[in-house]
Amino acid sequence: MRFLLPVITILALGSLQVESKPHVLFIAIDDLNDYISPLDNHPGVQTPHFERLARRSVNFANAHCAAPVCHASRVAIMTGVHPTRSGIYRNMFGARGPRWRHESRILEKAVVLSQHFRDHGYRAVGGGKIFHTLQWTPHDSQNDPEAWDDYRGDPNNPIAPDWPRPELVPDDKAGLTKGRPLGGHSQLFGAAPLELPDEKTGDHMVVDWAIEQMKSVKKGPLFMAVGLFRPHIPWEVPRKWFDKYPLEDVKLPPHREDDLSDAHHHGRTHWHKWVVENGQWEKLMQGYLASITYVDHQLGRLLDALDATPAMKGNTIIVLWSDHGFHIGEKANWEKFALWDQTTRVPLFIHAPGVSRDGARTRQPATLTDVYPTLCELAGLPIPEQCDGLSLVAQLKDPGTRRDRPALCSFQFWNEKAPSHGVADERYRFIRYGNGFEELYDLKNDPHEYENLIDDSKLASVKTRLAQGIPANPAPLAVLPKDSPHHRANQGKK
Ligand SMILES: [Ca+2]
């Protein structure tokens, strides 16, 4: 008996530990920028459920993606490996399955976040867009079906079947000039109300699935990833969301005509030229705002379901992130593919039961590669060696806790031979481009990054300090691995 008792005690403690592991609700939103009310509060924006989430979490108001494009950002979050080590700085298309394991050989055996939770007793399920895919590229997805216990629908085609298209008027019939980005008639770069109920739209269906998962939560902890596709283009959501933003009330973002005169050229001004010449700026802003409020509503449905599930309420870590920021004409840019604050800064909210100082906001710098180790620490899991990020648990407990490591976002421009890097601390941002051009901004005095201060000698030490945040030997740009079994061309017609 003397020897048996401690064994029983250890067994009991072990099971208690498993029982008490928190659930994880991991919410990814596509192309959502800082316009939401808990961040920069674009005039008139309606995001009550983001406010609700902000009240019950820590708002990382100076969080940055690891790369300003869907694919690279998402691989970095889901593996914890930064692009400066993997070399995945850009989008890469034509995949079926986790081709990123071969795009970057150092990722070949990387453990996906959901798999890591499975390896430690969790049931891991996913739905919608977590790894890269698009509404209009069916069966082109970089999801790893092996990383989940269950995935909604076809894990290799997770969102394309769900989204209807409206009847579209061809550009010439609509009186618009040729040159619409992403091709004329397809109008992927466009805004149009859907004459459908929410129930027939993709993100609503993904949230329906997530609600069912919560209702049927079984014994043992759940890791659930919910990937919402709006406000990604095309800005097509049911008409009632457009009606919340009458065109005459829509406000353009702050911008300056001469903004690019002291800045790097992003190579996409032709998009902005077409928008302005065709008088589409307000209309597209309306579509983006309508899409944001549609996705805010879906977030509200998730929070409602969580609160209505006794097994999860009070025992669930919530993390919400977007894969990068977004331009609606700021710096004559649209979408992403740049390294300014507007492109790299993302919503990031984390609630950890009994840990996070909910309702607080911090400007301590965070990179989305920090999410993986943060969730590990919160759930009592080991942090895999592959992870480049640093846990944010200290900032969850005390949001003012200083972080010495700046945020780092990296990208390789199309016409440059080396990657570019944006580094942010609490106040300043330094960008060094692949062609050697440099920018330095003081966000306290100049939140829109209008004035490049790189030649200001008083800030030389700031530049030197931030430049140290760029790795000395960043990985070269990943090359498309045409021999990968996950390269679609190698799979025949599927
Ligand atoms: Ca995206």
pLDDT tens-digit readout, 247-287: 999 999 999 999 999 999 999 999 999 999 999 999 999 99
CA of 4 to the centre of ligand 1 (A): 55
Instruction: Give the pLDDT confidence score for residue 170 in this predicted structure.
Output: 87
**22 with 315: CB under 8 angstroms?**
yes
Sign of CA dihedral 230, 236, 239, 242: positive
For 391, residues 6+ apart whose C-beta sits below 8 A from its C-beta are 370, 373, 374, 376, 377, 383
Phi, psi for residue 289 in degrees, rounded to 5: -65, -40
pLDDT-derived band at 294, boundaries 50, 70, 90:
very high
pLDDT tens-digit readout, 415-432: 999 999 999 999 999 999
Rounded-to-integer distance, Cα 382 and Cα 134, Å: 33
Q: Is residue 176 part of a domain?
A: yes
CA of 70 to the centre of ligand 1 (A): 4
CA of 322 to the centre of ligand 1 (A): 7
**Taking residues 362-383, what's their average pLDDT?**
98
Residue with tokens 């609490």: 426
CATH number of 52's domain: 3.40.720.10
Q: Is residue 473 part of a domain?
A: no
Rounded-to-integer distance, Cα 397 and Cα 4, Å: 39
Instruction: Give the pLDDT confidence score for residue 460 in this predicted structure.
Output: 98
Instruction: Give the pLDDT confidence score for residue 334 in this predicted structure.
Output: 98
Is the predicted pLDDT of residue 492 greater than 80, yes or no?
A: no
β-sheet with 428-432: strand ranges across: 407-411, 420-424, 428-432, 438-442
Residue 46 is given by DSSP the state -
Instruction: Give the pLDDT confidence score for residue 19 in this predicted structure.
Output: 52
CA of 411 to the centre of ligand 1 (A): 14
Instruction: Give the pLDDT confidence score for residue 167 in this predicted structure.
Output: 87
Confirm whether 70 is a catalytic residue. Answer: yes
Is the predicted pLDDT of residue 7 greater than 50, yes or no?
A: no
Tokens of 370: 């920090």
- Alpha carbon 461 to its chain's center: 32
Is the predicted pLDDT of residue 3 greater than 50, yes or no?
A: no
Name the burial class of residue 93, with classes exposed (0-12), middle (13-18) and buried (19+) by CB atoms within 10 angstroms of its CB: middle
**Taking residues 38-58, what's their average pLDDT?**
98
CA of 324 to the centre of ligand 1 (A): 6
Residue 145 is given by DSSP the state G
CA of 310 to the centre of ligand 1 (A): 33
Rounded-to-integer distance, Cα 69 and Cα 367, Å: 14
Could you say which of 132, 324, 421, 486 is catalytic? 132
Instruction: Give the pLDDT confidence score for residue 447 in this predicted structure.
Output: 98
Could you say which of 65, 70, 387, 409 is catalytic? 70
Rounded-to-integer distance, Cα 102 and Cα 34, Å: 33
Q: Is residue 435 part of a domain?
A: no
Q: Is residue 110 part of a domain?
A: yes
- Alpha carbon 345 to its chain's center: 10
Q: Is residue 455 part of a domain?
A: no
Query: Taking all residues of the chain, what is their mean pLDDT, rounded to a whole number?
Result: 94
CA of 321 to the centre of ligand 1 (A): 11
DSSP 51-92: HHHHHTSEEETTEE-SSSSHHHHHHHHHH---HHHH---S--
**Taking residues 136-162, what's their average pLDDT?**
96
**Taking residues 16-38, what's their average pLDDT?**
88
Q: Rounded to whole angstroms, what are the CA distances from 463 to 341, 343, 408, 429? A: 16, 20, 14, 9
**Taking residues 90-99, what's their average pLDDT?**
96
Instruction: Give the pLDDT confidence score for residue 184 in this predicted structure.
Output: 61
Q: Is residue 415 part of a domain?
A: no
CA of 232 to the centre of ligand 1 (A): 7
Is the predicted pLDDT of residue 293 greater than 80, yes or no?
A: yes
CA of 370 to the centre of ligand 1 (A): 18
Rounded-to-integer distance, Cα 277 and Cα 270, Å: 10
User: Could you give the percent of the chain with pLDDT greater than 70?
Assistant: 95
CA of 21 to the centre of ligand 1 (A): 31
pLDDT tens-digit readout, 95-108: 999 999 999 999 99
Q: What is the H or E stretch that residue 465 is in?
A: helix 460-467
CA of 6 to the centre of ligand 1 (A): 52
Confirm whether 132 is a catalytic residue. Answer: yes
Rounded-to-integer distance, Cα 330 and Cα 311, Å: 45
Is the predicted pLDDT of residue 18 greater than 80, yes or no?
A: no
Rounded-to-integer distance, Cα 97 and Cα 77, Å: 17
| CA-based end-to-end distance of the chain | 62
Range of the domain at 221: 22-400
CA of 142 to the centre of ligand 1 (A): 13
pTM: 0.95
Phi, psi for residue 87 in degrees, rounded to 5: 80, 0
Strand partners, 409: 422
pLDDT tens-digit readout, 188-225: 999 999 999 999 999 999 999 999 999 999 788 999 99
Instruction: Give the pLDDT confidence score for residue 9 in this predicted structure.
Output: 41
CA of 270 to the centre of ligand 1 (A): 20
Q: Given phi > 0 = left and psi -120 to 50 = alpha, else beta, which region is 337?
A: left
pLDDT tens-digit readout, 426-472: 999 999 999 999 999 999 999 999 999 999 999 999 999 999 999 99
Instruction: Give the pLDDT confidence score for residue 186 in this predicted structure.
Output: 75
Counting the structural domains of the chain, the total is 1
Q: Is residue 153 part of a domain?
A: yes
User: Could you give the percent of the chain with pLDDT greater than 90?
Assistant: 91
Q: Is residue 108 part of a domain?
A: yes
